[in-house]
Each structure stands twice: as structure tokens, then as C-alpha cells.
Amino acid sequence: MAKLLKLFTKWLIQWIFAVYYGLIVSFAILCDIIKCGPKTFFHRETRTSRPECMNDPALGTHGFLNLQTGIRIHYVAAGDEDKPLMLFLHGFPECWYSWRYQIKAFKSEYRVVSVDMRGYGESDCPVGMKNYSSRILTDDIRDIISELGYSSCVLVGHDWGGLIAWCVAMEYPELVDKLIINNVAHPDRLAKHIASHWSQFRKSWYIFLFQLPYLPELMLRAKDYSFLKGSFMGKSFGIRTPDMFTLTDLEAMKFSFSQQGAITGAVNYYRSALQTKPLRSKPIKCPTILIWGDKDGALEIEMTKGHDKYVDNFTLKIVEGASHWVQQDFPDKVNRIMSEFLKG
């Protein structure tokens, strides 16, 4: 009975905050429609083909994997196939293109593969938030490694991709030779920090908003996906090195989110995170490095502490002046840190 009461209380709190933030956003949307007009607010460009930057030969070749679950995953690969695999997992709101600087830097030493995660870009976007549980997303990575013809890899993740990379290292340790995480804490550490720090709880308001139907999609599609410009180029959360993220790069992100089902697929990660059972935490044995931009506007740097509890062989590297998008913000520094870690 106590367990049931605890679950109900948790559910009630989540939905109180979801409705609260939903009312605020609904009012903001109404004001925006009045201010800019319905035509501007609901306008979206038609994007039927990749922008040229996504077809840059220096980034590799495009391909698709058909997983045993029936899901088709889009990826871009470069480097010789007889070299070790380095697999890149992006976060929200990104796509495979987020790793463009790392693809170029490591393709001479590795078979580098950057995927569109399930629900993003040119990968399949299955309907229903239950198709985005941590178990399913983790198993996707297991199957991707196998379909690529490898038995293990250097696994690199950022944001949501980092959370899934943590889970892969816990669930399938034999698949991960070394683990490289960018600006996201271990899942348990992240959850505990949000629950115990009001400042981080407020920064994570969108997680509760995303539990609502329809409204998050409406907000994210507004004014031709203008939220992407705010995310990557805005003063609060944006990349702090302007030359590293241009309007051309922004168009690549917009192309990814303009694909059918992609907005809902991305939001479903958050819906599922609060409404499905998380994976049980297990010790991580492989060498692991956490690279963190200290100007992250979304996640507090304090959550980098205490990872020795979860990882036997742990290294932390702070990139001063970098935003949440650390691998795009200061790619030379991040690439150097990664290279030193891989050689160490």
C-alpha cells in the first residue's frame, strides 16, 4: 500500500507541474500568435532534401540499418571498415550532424559512425511513447553495433545520447571498450540532482511540459522551428563560439526536425522517461571520461560530482567557457581530450 501511495504521489506531482507549465506555455503561444500573426506562427518551410552541408563527402557516406525490431536507423560513416568502431549518439534537439567535427577528427584512426537516434531525422519514428523507453533505446545501440559488423566500440554520447550510452555500458559492458560522455551525468546522478536541487528542477521545467499531448509539438514547430535557433544560437543556452555553429548548420538541424514524426519522436524520449520503468543501475567497469562545458545553461556542473560511485575508472574534464553543446562549441579542445583519453 505504501508503495502504491508513493507512486500515486509521484504521478500527481508530475501532472500538477505539467498542467502548470502547460498553462504558462499556452498563454505565451496565444500572445505570440497575436503578436506575429497566425501565418507567421504556423509557417514551416518544406524540406524534402538534405542541405548540402549534410552531404559533405568529408563527413562520410549515408546509409541505413534495418534492426531486428523492424526499426530502420539512418547513419553516416567514414573511415576504413577494418578499423575499430567509434559510435556517436546525439542528444536533444540534435541529429547525427552534431558530431561533424569529431567525425573529421577521428576518421583516420577509427571507423566513425554517427546515427540519427530512433525518433530523429531520417531514422524511423515509431508511434507511442512506450517505444522510447530506456530499455528499447539501449537495445537499439546493441543492435546497431551488431548490424555494423562489430562486437564492441568506443561509445560517445551527448545529452540524451549520453544517457543511453551510460545505459549501454551498464547493460552490455562487453560492447563498450571505452565510454566518452559529453555534458550529461550518470542517469542516477542526474535524477537525484534534479530531485534535490530546486535550481535544477526549475531548469528542467520542459520535462514536465513534454508530458502533455500536442502542446509541446505545437511549441516546437512554431515559426519554422524557431526554438532551434534559440537553443543553439541564443544568449542563454547557445553555442558560445559563433563560428562553430552557423545558419547553415541550423538548417541541417531544421531538416532533421522537419522529417515526418521527428518532433513527436524527440518529445517521446521525455514522456517515456517519466512514465516507464528505468533500467537498474549497475557498476561501469570500462574506462570512462565525462567532458563538461562549465557554461552549460541546462545542466548544473555540480552534478559532475560523485561519479566514482558508479564508475570504477572515471575521469572528469571541464572545458572552460563551453556551453551545453560542448563538442560543437570547442571541438578542438574536446577532440584533444578525447584523443588523450583514448591513447591513455
**What's the whole-number average pLDDT of the chain?**
96
Q: Rounded to 10 degrees, what is the CA torsion of 235, 236, 238, 239?
A: 80
Beta bridge partners of 66: 72
Rounded CA-CA distance 110/38 in Å is 49
Task: Note the pLDDT of residue 191.
Answer: 95
Catalytic residues: 159, 270, 324
pLDDT at 236 over 90: no
Beta bridge partners of 315: 289
Contact (Cβ atoms closer than 8 angstroms) between residue 290 and residue 316: yes
- What is the sign of the dihedral through the CA atoms of 318, 294, 320 and 292? positive
Whole-Å CA distances, 238 to 29, 162, 210, 295, 297: 22, 19, 21, 10, 8
Query: What count of other Cβ atoms lies within 10 Å of the Cβ of residue 35?
Result: 9
Task: Note the pLDDT of residue 4.
Answer: 74
pLDDT tens digits, one per residue of 36-85 = 999 999 999 999 999 999 999 999 999 999 999 999 999 999 999 999 99
Global confidence as pTM: 0.97
Average pLDDT over residues 157-174: 98
pLDDT tens digits, one per residue of 101-148 = 999 999 999 999 999 999 999 999 999 999 999 999 999 999 999 999
Nearest to 118 by CA among 98, 102, 95, 101: 95
pLDDT tens digits, one per residue of 248-291 = 999 999 999 999 999 999 999 999 999 998 999 999 999 999 99
Contact (Cβ atoms closer than 8 angstroms) between residue 32 and residue 41: yes
pLDDT above 70: percentage of residues in the chain: 99
Nearest to 328 by CA among 44, 142, 114: 114
pLDDT at 1 over 70: no
CATH number at residue 126: 3.40.50.1820
DSSP 99-163: GHHHHHHHTTTSEEEEE--TTSTTS---SSGGGG-HHHHHHHHHHHHHHTT-S-EEEEEETHHHH
Structural domain total, the chain: 1
Contact (Cβ atoms closer than 8 angstroms) between residue 326 and residue 291: yes
3-state secondary structure 66-108: ECCCCCEEEEEEECCCCCCEEEEECCCCCCHHHHHHHHHHHCC
pLDDT tens digits, one per residue of 203-219 = 999 999 999 999 999 99
pLDDT tens digits, one per residue of 175-232 = 999 999 999 999 999 999 999 999 999 999 999 999 999 999 999 999 999 999 999 9
pLDDT at 6 over 80: no
Query: What count of other Cβ atoms lies within 10 Å of the Cβ of residue 37?
Result: 11
Q: Which domain holds residue 210?
A: 2-343
Q: Label residue 8 by pLDDT band (50, 70, 90).
A: confident
Contact (Cβ atoms closer than 8 angstroms) between residue 54 and residue 255: yes
